[in-house]
Amino acid sequence: MNRRSWLQDAIPAALAACLAPRVLAQAPAPSAWPSRPLRMIVPGGAGSGTDVVARVFAEPLSRALRQPVVVENRPGANGIVGNNLAAKAAPDGYTILFSNASAIAINAAMRDAMPYDTLRDLAPVIQVSAGGVLLVATAETPVRDLASFVEYVRAHPNIAYGTWGVGSTGHLAMEAIARARGLRMRHIPYKTMGQLLTDLQGGVISLAFVDARSPLSLIQAGKLVPLAMTGTRRSPMLPEVRTLKQQGFDLDLDGWYGVFVPAHTPAGIVLRLNEEIARVMVAPALQASFAQQGLLWVERNAPEQFARVIRSDIRAWKALATTARVQVD
């Protein structure tokens, strides 16, 4: 995802009209902002991938803003609980949301009834990273790549696999693979990544989609075998693992992390946040920390550019869910 010439892109009138118009206007931030701590809502539990990345990110942002940025975990309903809390917060610049593609774009693509409107009630500030999710198998299986995965699943119809939730990136990716290759599999959604990894270690399941960071110690210990990455690029943590597309499967949607504020937050605050976060992101230490989480740093991008990414992803995930015949209650 190349995000060059961020200031050169004009804001399309249609986008400005329908996506938090006041946020996209050019205006200075109030001189007194921020005068007190900010809360960063994370729509995932403590220790989740989103939480870990948010905490890595919050510390340097606190220094840049000269105010504490306090991480507040609000997990539930694949991110809807935390997203809703942020969407309903006062648009005063003191609530920011650190969310991800699954919680933002996939929910919007697959759920008709949510307590907030993603495009109307949340204003994008900046995308900070991109990265895929990882298909793994236990070492006891003969599976070592996507081709042997397909052979193994075909020989074991209705085999169970795990992900971190119904409608998650991993769920959609696995169902798309199964549909395209004529495989029959049974999905087991887990509430946390920790529970999923525990069942992989215990032999309850032998196949799963996971984030690239959480299973690293198990991979290094030879207990799990990495098979393929979703997304457009390989993970910096596992550079030897090819993407699905590099193994002949046409799926290259990236996951991402990004920052949002409630719609109608003053435009100057949004732009100040964008500028400060962009400065934070170029620090080598932070880029190294992101690489340790299996994430790829994204070049500076304006709010309207991130908004276009979100809209495009919603359309793409909706099409994928339709093809894979995945529905959520």
**pLDDT 10s digits, 233-267:** 898 889 999 999 999 998 878 889 999 999 999 99
Distance of alpha carbon 104 from alpha carbon 78, whole angstroms: 9
**Tokens representing residue 123 in the block:** 């204003």
Q: Where are the alpha helices (DSSP H) in 115-188?
A: 118-121, 146-155, 169-181
DSSP 282: T
| Cβ 160 vs Cβ 205: under 8 Å | yes
Place of tokens 């080598």: 284
CA–CA dist 151, 100 (Å, integer): 32
Distance CA 294, CA 225 (A): 16
- Paired tokens of 209: 């989609």
In tens, the pLDDT along 180-211 reads 999 999 999 998 888 999 999 999 999 999 98
CB-based contacts of 63, cutoff 8 Å, min separation 6: none
Residue 55, sorted as left (phi over 0), alpha (psi -120 to 50) or beta, turns out to be: alpha
Per residue of the chain (329 residues), give pLDDT as tens.
444 443 344 334 333 434 444 444 455 566 789 999 999 999 988 888 889 889 988 999 999 999 999 999 999 888 999 999 999 999 999 999 999 998 999 999 999 889 999 999 999 999 998 888 999 999 999 999 999 999 999 999 999 999 988 888 899 999 999 999 999 999 999 988 889 999 999 999 999 999 888 899 999 999 999 999 998 889 888 999 999 999 999 887 888 999 999 999 999 999 999 999 999 998 888 888 877 777 777 888 999 999 999 999 999 999 988 888 887 76
Q: In which residue are the tokens 């942002």 written?
A: 61
Written as six digits, the tokens of 57 are 């990110």
DSSP 230-260: -SSS--SS-TTSPBTGGGT----PPEEEEEE
What is the Cα 2 distance to its own chain's centre?
17
Rounded Cα distance between 4 and 301, Å, is: 7
Contact 229, 136 (CB under 8 A): no
Instruction: Tell me the residue type at 282.
Output: V
Side-chain half-sphere of 312: how many Cα atoms within 13 Å? 10
Q: How far is CA 240 from CA 115, 173, 248, 250, 313, in A?
A: 42, 20, 16, 19, 27
Q: Is the separation of the CB atoms in 185 and 178 below 8 Å? A: yes
Contacts of 121 (CB under 8 A, 6+ apart): 87, 88, 262, 263
CA–CA–CA angle 194, 196, 200 (5° rounding): 115
**Total residue length of the chain:** 329
Full set of structural domains in the chain with CATH:
13-131+254-324 (3.40.190.150), 134-247 (3.40.190.10)
| Among 46, 83, 60, 19, residue whose Cα is nearest residue 311 | 19
The predicted model scores a pTM of 0.82
CA 61/CA 18 separation, integer angstroms: 29
8 Å CB contact between 65 and 94: no
